[in-house]
Amino acid sequence: MAIYPKTKHLLCICILLCYTFLLSHGRAPPSPNLNVRAVNLGGWLVTEGWIKPSLFDGIPNKNFLDGTGLQFKSVTVGKYLCAETGGGTIIVTNRTAASGWETFRLWRINEKTFQMRVFNKQFVGLDTRGNGIDVVAVVAGTPGVSETFEIVWNSGDSGRVRIKAPNGFFLQVKTEELVTADSKGDGSWGDDDPSVFILTNVGSPQGEFQVTNGYGPLKAPQVMRVSLIFS
């Protein structure tokens, strides 16, 4: 009679628990030759990329999982986008090195659209109280349409991106102190294009939420079910 992998795992767990119970009560196991096998429950109880990286392979645009940290360096001024004072005011491009204030954490809506949270937990958006094109980070509550962006890759150079704002235009660096969303994004992707940024991905968590968010509520349970059967 064939024993399925899950049945084998459960049998090993039962043997291990019985063995532990006997030892804890000062009794020797029935046979000194009893072989006890341990089972790693990590892949069952938690979902982690380092335990089973293949779980994340099928996620569309898997480099931009929820929680991914991104840094954007302007090709025209050679400096990084930064949430001034960590958030609560304007977005600038005047930092020569990137750290916390220059790192934007993705809230993934789908494989193409994202909301970006800054160091002080506010979200990047357009200044709806001003001219509607200045880029700021002032929304601390639930982000909405004006805080939803699309990151567009250069098909010939995956290290270069544009950021499409909710008004349909692209972010561009006009000066180190002024970033606006009013570029058509139809330039050459060269170093003279103020809407182009060099992207640095500083990593992302890989857990159960990333699997569910990445695959969606319909496909994620299927992926997890297959993973348990063949783990």
Are residues 107 and 185 both part of a single domain?
yes
Q: Strands of the chain (E only): list them.
A: 69-74, 80-83, 91-95, 104-108, 113-117, 123-126, 135-139, 149-154, 157-164, 170-175, 178-183, 197-201
Report the pLDDT averaged over residues 152-171: 94
pLDDT of res. 214 = 76
| Average pLDDT value over all residues in the chain | 82
Number of domains the chain contains: 2
Residue 41 confidence (pLDDT): 54
Q: What is the pLDDT of residue 4?
A: 46
193: CATH: 2.80.10.50
Give the confidence band of 3 by pLDDT, cuts at 50, 70, 90.
very low
As a whole number, mean pLDDT of residues 52-62 equals 76
Please give the Cα distance from 72 to 151 (Å, whole number).
Answer: 11
Tens-digit pLDDT profile for residues 174-228: 999 999 999 999 999 999 999 999 999 998 877 776 777 777 777 777 777 665 5
Predicted pLDDT of residue 39: 55
Claim to verify: residue 29 and residue 95 sit in the same structural domain:
no
Q: Is residue 133 part of a domain?
A: yes
Range of the domain at 113: 62-201
pLDDT, one tens digit per residue, over 112-129 is 999 999 999 999 999 988
- Whether 78 and 180 share a structural domain: yes
Global pTM?
Answer: 0.74
Structural domain contains residue 56: no
Residue 18 sits in the same domain as residue 129: no
Residues 21 and 78 in one domain: no
In a domain, 77, yes or no: yes
